[in-house]
Amino acid sequence: MADAFDPQHAPRLEDPARLEALPQATVVSLLRLDGAETVVDYGAGTGVYTVAVAAALPQGRVIAVEALPRLAQMLRDKLTPELAERLELVETDANTVPAADAVADRVLMVDVLHHLYDQPGALAEVVRLLRPGGLFVVVDWGDRERPAGPPLDHVLGLVAVRDIIREMGLVEVEAHEPGTQLPYHLVVVAAKP
């Protein structure tokens, strides 16, 4: 199922049509932030959502985890000195984030779960990083007919994502098929007990 993300496709992540269908503001609102949280953006890509999340955290910070050097560099190129104070980039494909257990109030994955390298290793790292009561927010392509995005047999769909969340030992807070929160994307929010 997990198709490695092709770094040649990096510009697609910044396509205005993508950002219209998957607006940064919606992703930020799903995180339910007060502004002082620590958020891990797992599979941050070129940072189109990372930077928006950092802007919503005047007293908080973002740890951006990205495996592909080319995408990590595109994220790095977006860092102003002010952003760099609140946004730490961890470039790794080993699912070993150099941060303490329970450091994260939120972990975000946007269009990552179906691309995840070493899914068990990555999800164990998500559980380790989340504090009790912290939220894992998954936004990913749905498996219903749509005019954009990967083929339906390359994505997970809501049933599979909910199963993964349960297997992680997290408690589902909300789950939405495409067409409710976002036109083509499913949303699952789950809490660490």
Ligand X SMILES: C[S@@+](CC[C@H](N)C(=O)[O-])C[C@H]1O[C@@H](n2cnc3c(N)ncnc32)[C@H](O)[C@@H]1O
Q: Are 176 and 168 in contact (CB under 8 A)?
A: no
Which parts of 103-122 interact with ligand X (CB under 6 A)?
110-112, 115-118, 122
137: helix, coil or strand? Answer: strand
Nearest to ligand X of 86, 115 (CB atom):
115
Under rule CB under 6 A, residue 71 binds ligand X: yes
Under rule CB under 6 A, residue 143 binds ligand X: no
Query: In whole angstroms, what is the distance from residue 21 CA to residue 142 CA?
Result: 13
Return the HEC string of 84-126.
Answer: HCCEEEEECCCCCCCCCCCCEEEEEEECCHHHCCCHHHHHHHH
Under rule CB under 6 A, residue 134 binds ligand X: no
Under rule CB under 6 A, residue 49 binds ligand X: yes
Under rule CB under 6 A, residue 54 binds ligand X: no
Closest separation in Å from C-beta 122 to ligand X: 4
Query: In whole angstroms, what is the distance from residue 28 CA to residue 121 CA?
Result: 26
Closest separation in Å from C-beta 128 to ligand X: 14
Q: Are 191 and 135 in contact (CB under 8 A)?
A: yes
Nearest to ligand X of 7, 133 (CB atom):
7
Under rule CB under 6 A, residue 177 binds ligand X: no
Binding site for ligand X (CB under 6 A): 5, 13, 43-45, 48-49, 65-68, 71, 93, 95, 110-112, 115-118, 122
